Amino acid sequence: MFTGIVEELGEVLGTESGPSSARLTVRGPVVTADARHGDSIAVNGVCLTITDQPAPDAFTADVMLETLERTTLGGLRPGDPVNLERAVPAGARLGGHVVQGHVDGVGRVVARTPGDRWETVRIEVPAALARYVAEKGSVAVDGTSLTVAAVHDDDPAGPSFSVGLIPTTLAATTLGRAAPGARVNLEVDVIAKYVERLLTAGGAS
């Protein structure tokens, strides 16, 4: 489990693509400081398992076809920055919200509006996920825990939502440089999905 509090901006060192999978190597001195084979690290919100450590400050992970189809990881190239977070140890402080690292879909940045010391970013959300996004609720965007400032269900271009990015988020995550058109990984609140499942499962016990 993760909390959506990005620990550092890592850098993609290399990618290897196969017919139905890929291998991703990332540099991240902070998240690898105590890393071991088999540990989980969220890369742009995607939970990956360390399979190799080619250097003391880097790790390699396998990326399966399901992940490549549901996330933006397949588009990463050497030199790209990525948000990194280690799994949360039991008993640690929950700084953001419950994030599983299981991306639900890919959204798209559609607009950025600068404020005094922050920015409002509007993100297009797939129609199938829009019902899980609620004003003042939580959403993970590229692994970053954010509070939904507004939802825009009546937009003719399709559903979207807005979030506010404080200076720390702008400086410490990839969202600070995500221009309109950029694709981002989205994970909606898992509690909303479970509530829906309970209400629609026919009351079986």
- Range list of β-strands (E), the chain: 8-17, 21-27, 40-43, 46-55, 58-64, 81-86, 105-114, 119-124, 138-141, 144-152, 160-165, 183-188
Same domain, 116 and 192: yes
- pLDDT > 90? residue 179: yes
Mark whether 65 and 115 lie in a shared domain.
Answer: no
Whether 69 and 134 map to the same domain: the answer is no
The CATH code of the domain that includes 36 is: 2.40.30.20
Contact between 159 and 107 under an 8 Å Cβ cutoff? The reply is no
What span, in angstroms and rounded, lies between the C-alpha atoms of 47 and 33? 18
pLDDT, tens digit, for every residue of 39-74?
999 999 999 999 999 999 999 999 999 999 999 999
Average pLDDT, stretch 164-187?
97
Question: Are 186 and 110 part of one and the same domain?
Answer: yes
Q: Are residues 65 and 29 in the same domain?
A: yes
Tell me: do 58 and 135 sit in the same domain. no
Residue 130: per-residue pLDDT: 95
The domain containing residue 121 runs over which residues?
Answer: 105-197
Give yes or no: residues 111 and 74 share one domain: no
Let me know if residue 94 belongs to a domain.
no
Mean pLDDT is lowest, of 31-40, 54-63, 70-79, 188-197, for 188-197
Residue 190 lies in a domain: yes
The count of domains in the chain is 2
Q: What is the mean pLDDT of residues 191-202?
A: 85
Q: What is the pTM of this model?
A: 0.93
Residue 122 resides in a domain? yes
pLDDT of residue 204: 53
